[in-house]
Copies of this chain bind each other. A is one copy, B any other.
């Protein structure tokens, strides 16, 4: 039974802080019975992300499917899928070396392809164009163009939801608190080094720590460790 008239929602769940916050946003907006989650197994450096996603979905009481994508590894050349490349901060104005061209376009297109035969209209993703990634495929104008391409290309009324688009990391932490997602943050994974407890030194760890610090909230992941 779908619990409201808005229809079904699919959350693209990476196992990280942002997508987990989005899951709780979706629970709040669409109701638990209407929400499912999709995780991509795309050759990410750390398989722990997949386990985190499964655990987060189970903890929230919603289904999780994992869809393989072997293409990014075959494309190669970036620090997100190649363990031999060190993650580095971006030079001024340059794209970071974790940039995988089109990664979010691919994720969202496959999410829409997964949603299509299942009658799921709403797709929720944790991308944001504010103070984090520097990835151009996380920006609002990119997502708007993609939504149009998906609607036309699948003859559907699919909607892409990006609740974090204009939030700072601080505001994302505050939203997680507001949505009752703080406990679930202990289950998430952020560290580029794949460490648990997190390394605290990689760009992803530093960004996460700053967000929690600015919000004045203790990161429950650190309490676990």
Chain A residues proximal to chain B, CB less than 8 Å: 67-71, 74-75, 77, 95, 100-106, 109-110, 112-114, 116-117, 136-137, 139, 141-142, 145-146, 148-150, 152-155
Out of B113, B116, B137, which one reaches A154, CB within 8 Å?
A: B137
Copies of this protein in the assembly total: 2
A151 to B130, CA, bound (A): 20
A67 to B100, CA, bound (A): 15
- The answer to whether A136 and B152 touch across the interface, beta carbons within 8 angstroms, is yes
- The answer to whether A102 and B137 touch across the interface, beta carbons within 8 angstroms, is no
Contact partners of A77 in chain B: CB under 8 A: 117
- The answer to whether B102 and A155 touch across the interface, beta carbons within 8 angstroms, is no
Known: A71-B71, A102-B112; 18 extra A-B contacts, CB below 8 A, are A67-B75, A68-B74, A69-B69, A77-B117, A101-B116, A101-B117, A103-B113, A105-B149, A105-B153, A106-B106, A106-B110, A136-B153, A137-B152, A139-B152, A142-B152, A145-B149, A146-B153, A149-B149
What's the least CB distance linking A165 to chain B, in Å?
A: 14
What's the least CB distance linking A4 to chain B, in Å?
A: 25
Q: Which residue of B lies closest to A110 (CB)?
A: B71
A146 to B95, CA, bound (A): 21
What's the least CB distance linking A72 to chain B, in Å?
A: 8
- The answer to whether A142 and B153 touch across the interface, beta carbons within 8 angstroms, is yes
Q: Which residue of B lies closest to A140 (CB)?
A: B152
A106 to B112, CA, bound (A): 11
Q: Given the known inter-chain contacts A70-B68, A102-B109, A102-B113, please indicate yes or no for A152 contacting B148, CB distance below 8 A.
A: no
What's the least CB distance linking A209 to chain B, in Å?
A: 28
- The answer to whether B71 and A69 touch across the interface, beta carbons within 8 angstroms, is yes
Q: Given the known inter-chain contacts A149-B146, A149-B149, A155-B136, please indicate yes or no for A106 contacting B104, CB distance below 8 A.
A: no
Q: Given the known inter-chain contacts A136-B154, A149-B149, A152-B136, please indicate yes or no for A113 contacting B75, CB distance below 8 A.
A: yes
Show 17 residue pairs from A and B whose CB-CB distance is below 8 angstroms, ordered by the A residue: A68-B70, A69-B69, A69-B70, A69-B71, A70-B70, A71-B110, A75-B110, A77-B117, A101-B117, A102-B110, A103-B113, A105-B150, A105-B153, A109-B109, A136-B152, A148-B148, A149-B149
